[in-house]
Structure 1
Amino acid sequence: MTTALTIDIDVARGRIASGEKLTDVAAGLGLPWQRLSKALRGKARGGPAPSAAHPNPETEIADGANEPPRPIREVPRQALTERLRPRRLADVAGQETAVALLRAFAASPYPAAFVLAGDTGTGKTSAAVALAGELGCDVAAGEYGGVHVVASGEQTADNVREALDRLTYSSWSGSGWKVLIVNEADRMCRPAETIWLDRLESIPAKSVIIFTTNEPERLAPRFMDRCTVLQFESRADVVKLEAMRFIASIWKRETGRDLPECEAAALFDSCVNDGQFSFRRAVVRLQRTLLRSNGKAGN
């Protein structure tokens, strides 16, 4: 017997194959996209289709006919760091040279590998995700939209092989381009590096691999030679003007008021360590300052 869930999954797969975003299909079915993706993944792996006799609470789609209306929950306000995460390359602050090169690449892309090098908090991972968006990946859908990630500390030979294999399959939504982001590449093990040295010679079609690193000197020269290396700037004296504008614009957006230059300068100075400025640290400090400001206003 074919269940409602089986039909929904088949319909969802067909809609995604025709170009609809996974997130839009999930919304049409009244589901979180993560839940739909889990159901699709289970079926893709050959798992048994859910049935009325053996319902699966993880993936079953209820028709809701006999259910009472669910209360509407208020969507929690996101942290400032998440709300300010760049959605476009043009939104990446303080990295004019690197951003210009990535935008030029996005205008005429080809299979390639990049190393984004620089101190923590300079926007390397944000730039990688923004590039994926500009290539037409469905960023919100994660790997189903063409955005794959190998996290720091997970760079074993097996994980690298698995990630590279995923680049050979078509995405379920998005433009068809796939972006693999390898965070803190300098932490990869030697067997993983050996695999990269071989596979970077033949990157799959419509695929871009982006390595981020805080310590590029730990990567082998022959590895670096296979990639385009972009340096992300953090020297306080170089980024000061852009960073001050960044701080002032966030304050204005969040409060509707101009931030006095002396206060912007004080915030800037608090985000400098050993002569290096961190944009991420600036956002965290701004959120703390805004919370204190709101607390005083409420008293």
Structure 2
Amino acid sequence: MSGLLALLDDVAGIAKVAAASVDDVVGQAAKAGSKAAGAVIDDAAVTPKYVQGFEASRELPVIWRIAKGSFKNKLVFLLPIGLLLSNFAPWLITPLLMIGGAYLCFEGAEKVHHWLHPHDEPVKIFKEDEAGDPAHLEDQKAQGAIKTDFILSAEIMTIALAAIPESNFWFEAATLAMVAIMITVAVYGAVALIVKADDVGLYLAKNANLDVTRAVGRGIVKAMPGVMKVLTIVGTAAMLWVGGNIVIHGLEVLGWGWPYETIHHIAEAFGSVAADQTRGFVEWVATATMDGVLGLGLGLLLIPVAQKVLVPAYQTVAGKTSDGAH
């Protein structure tokens, strides 16, 4: 009997330790995720533009497809890669992030270039179907969103990994997995709400019992096209801001700190003329704006590189692959 009681006491002790470990993982995941809030907001702003133009019945399936791709990006690829790099090749993290940041700058600058020159063909590194088949269009949109998500997810996971206190391998892995799950659910849940808001408004406008509720529904329907345009602009600005920020911080880590220091000093100068209550916000806006402007400049420089180097190289490789398949 005493042996059984001792065993039960040991089991209870193990359960308490396990529960405390789970609490620690959840707590650290919440803290680490909050550090990546900026990139999370960018992810939520960028994604809705990928479901524009689809029938209402296809919007949620496309979002779910992108969300599954995001889970795969974070849990299958980025989590193990991040842990391996942080433990065995930490020097590789910065260059890889800078490549991702440069791609975001290119994507954002390509959008701006197309807005300014709407008759010019957008620069596409990856070949797209030209037949207008809805199924192919859905594939292209989803794959494009998942590619962009991969870069933003890499930034989120890297920031989260840096925010986790030094601990053992498995605690870091569990915390990063929790960050990946919480952030993906939050981002794509918000995206689903944004995208389906017009359908909710239409339902209220047609079926609500109260006049005021029907009026709210009509207001939502009228507002959503403008909201989606704003989100497209915010998403593009977010690409440029995050991409520029990644590249600038990467240069600082690699020893070229003058761009970061210059931006920091200019932001401090703007903050110094603001009220104490708004100084931090003013400095953040100044920093984000300069990061975005530099990101736009880098992206515009990369457009001819894509036109003259990357696209021809991709077409050559794709052509050789296609020839070899016959």
Q: TM over 0.5: same fold?
A: no
Structure number with the bigger relative contact order (C-alpha 8 A, sep ≥ 6) is 2
TM-score bracket, shorter-length normalisation: under 0.3
For the pair shown, the structure with the greater C-alpha radius of gyration is 2
**Structure with the higher helix share, 1 or 2:** 2
Give the TM-score normalised by the residue count of structure 1. Answer: 0.24
